[in-house]
Amino acid sequence: AFEIKMPYRQLRVWNLKLSDAGIYTCEYGSRKVRTSLHIFKLTISLDGHFLQNEVPELILMQNSSSPLPDLSITLFDSNNNRVTPELQSKSRQKYIMNLKKLEAMDSGTWVCQVHSDSPLINQNISFDVKVLGFQNPDLERKYATVDSTVILSWCLNSQKIKWKKDFTGQLNWRKEESAKAHELLDFNVTAQGQLHEIKKSNNFLFEILERKPEGAIEMKLPKVHFNYSGQYQCQLEYQGRHAQSKIELVVMKVSANPVGPLSRGANVTLTCQVSGPLPPNAYLRWERVNGTKMDIKNSKQQEVKLEVNISAAGLWSCHLIEDSDRKISLHYHVEEAPVWINYVIIGASVGGSLLAFALGCLCIISGVSRQRRRKRAKRMAQAKQHLLENKTCQCQK
């Protein structure tokens, strides 16, 4: 469409198409003025609506009455960072490019800068990109101790980027990467930004928080069990495409064997265990609070279990250390047995020794007595035999 604006003989053309390119002539009396109109058309795939980690396709087309120039194309993202596109195909009329893999922070207005030396062209074409995703990283690791309370949170950016489309999602848990996923809840977000959540699992003890930051998916584990460790994945779905963010929950527990007060001279084994797996630069450490360097023991890197055999009572702490940073700690108090218990144990030990000695003496005395009785019985039997032999001799005389 076009219109002529008087009195300056201006031609206004809008809703340009590639076919509108060409030479426009203005005649006024004997005068003629010619203007060449060079038209660019820039289109972006999926109408500029993407999920994080998707790669947009950009198509730049040009048309002119003059021979089409070879274009130099430079892109700048919403943060004014230069982006080098991957050129898929090129002709003088059409350039097809792939952009980088998008992140949630890439939402905003991008600029395509078109340049040509002959004819001289310097044209900036702006276009909008919306990337639906999470403000969390793709994989986050969170640490917790047994019986503690943990809140897992995923922050959606739909409100921030003014995403005006409906989308859905779900929250899943699996013990490990290859294990079967268990669905915990479903949710949907309307074009107006309203969030609706539906709890799906009754076997998993968790709560859906009502009061939370806008655009957040949150779940609360009021009392963490050791077997609650694993991968918690929040997944978005829009037009059959998916984006996800994972939180890996690592749980720590400590135990003692034997359990109970530590007697003088006795030992106890303390065990610290995490559900794992750990990153390459992480390890476990046992140490006694206010102890010495002799009371410290480290595991090898990535070991998920550490045992220490101790004879000193007090407060012992197990730390999970990553890059010299203590991520989580759990304490175990080893009580020292009261003095009277030590005396009882000593008395019982001495009494037991005396009782064993007495039993040994009784056994010896009993054995000697039995031996004497056997000898006496043997002598009496011999005497009887001798008397019988004497009587026989007298009768024969």
Q: Is residue 385 part of a domain?
A: no
> For 125-138, how does the pLDDT look when each residue is reduced to its tens digit (9 = 90+)?
999 999 999 988 78
| Confidence at 212, pLDDT banded by 50, 70, 90 | confident
Same domain membership, residue 121 and residue 162: no
Same domain membership, residue 145 and residue 234: yes
Q: Is residue 391 part of a domain?
A: no
User: Which residue in 144, 139, 140 sits closest to 251, CA to CA?
Assistant: 144
Average pLDDT over residues 336-345: 56
Average pLDDT over residues 81-92: 92
| pLDDT of 64 higher than 90 | yes
Check residue 303 and give its pLDDT: 93
Same domain membership, residue 230 and residue 314: no
Place of tokens 């609360």: 220
Q: Which residues contact 368 (CB under 8 A, 6 or more apart)?
A: none
Task: Judge whether 251 and 274 are in contact, CB under 8 Å.
Answer: yes
> For 28-52, how does the pLDDT look when each residue is reduced to its tens digit (9 = 90+)?
778 888 888 999 999 999 999 999 9
What range defines the domain where residue 326 resides? Answer: 258-334
Task: Judge whether 208 and 198 are in contact, CB under 8 Å.
Answer: no
Average pLDDT over residues 11-17: 85
Q: What is the pTM of this model?
A: 0.76
> For 87-106, how does the pLDDT look when each residue is reduced to its tens digit (9 = 90+)?
999 998 999 999 999 999 99
Q: Is residue 373 part of a domain?
A: no
- Which pair of tokens denotes residue 361? 């003496």
| Confidence at 345, pLDDT banded by 50, 70, 90 | very low
- Which pair of tokens denotes residue 7? 């009195």
Q: Which of 39-43, 68-72, 138-142, 281-285 has the lowest mean pLDDT?
A: 138-142
Average pLDDT over residues 74-90: 93
| Confidence at 341, pLDDT banded by 50, 70, 90 | very low
Q: Are strands 49-51 and 86-90 parallel, antiparallel or unpaired?
A: unpaired
Average pLDDT over residues 201-217: 83
The secondary structure element, H or E, covering residue 298 is: strand 296-298
Same domain membership, residue 233 and residue 176: yes
Check residue 393 and give its pLDDT: 46
336 vs 345: CA distance, rounded Å: 14
Domain final residue, candidates 67, 98, 132: 132
- Which pair of tokens denotes residue 182? 């268990």
Same domain membership, residue 123 and residue 12: yes
Q: How large a percentage of the chain has pLDDT more than 70?
A: 85
Q: Could you tell me the CA-to-CA distances from 367 to 14, 70, 353, 362, 376 in Å, in that order? A: 125, 118, 21, 8, 14
Q: Is residue 299 part of a domain?
A: yes
Same domain membership, residue 166 and residue 128: no
Same domain membership, residue 75 and residue 109: yes
327 vs 321: CA distance, rounded Å: 6
| Confidence at 383, pLDDT banded by 50, 70, 90 | low
Q: What is the CATH number of the domain that holds 24?
A: 2.60.40.10
Check residue 340 and give its pLDDT: 43
Q: Is residue 357 part of a domain?
A: no
Check residue 344 and give its pLDDT: 47
Higher pLDDT, 2 or 146: 146
| pLDDT of 256 higher than 90 | yes
Same domain membership, residue 222 and residue 278: no
Domain final residue, candidates 101, 132, 163: 132
96 vs 89: CA distance, rounded Å: 5
| pLDDT of 8 higher than 70 | no
- Which pair of tokens denotes residue 116? 């040509």
| pLDDT of 395 higher than 50 | no
Q: Is residue 374 part of a domain?
A: no
Q: Is cis: bond before 280, omega within 30 of 0?
A: no
Q: Is residue 170 part of a domain?
A: yes
Average pLDDT over residues 227-249: 95
Q: Is cis: bond before 119, omega within 30 of 0?
A: yes
Same domain membership, residue 152 and residue 115: no
Please give the mean pLDDT across all residues of the chain: 87
Average pLDDT over residues 316-342: 85
| Confidence at 390, pLDDT banded by 50, 70, 90 | low
Domain final residue, candidates 334, 349, 380: 334
| Confidence at 215, pLDDT banded by 50, 70, 90 | confident
Average pLDDT over residues 274-299: 91
User: Which residue in 209, 219, 106 sits closest to 154, CA to CA?
Assistant: 219
Check residue 353 and give its pLDDT: 61
CA-CA-CA-CA dihedral for 369, 374, 375, 381, to nearest 10: 150
Same domain membership, residue 97 and residue 153: no
Same domain membership, residue 107 and residue 30: yes
Tell me if residue 207 falls in helix, strand or coil. Answer: strand
If one counts the domains in the chain, the total is: 3
> For 306-325, how does the pLDDT look when each residue is reduced to its tens digit (9 = 90+)?
999 998 889 999 999 999 89
370 vs 357: CA distance, rounded Å: 20
Same domain membership, residue 126 and residue 147: no
Q: Is residue 246 part of a domain?
A: yes
- Which pair of tokens denotes residue 193? 């930004």
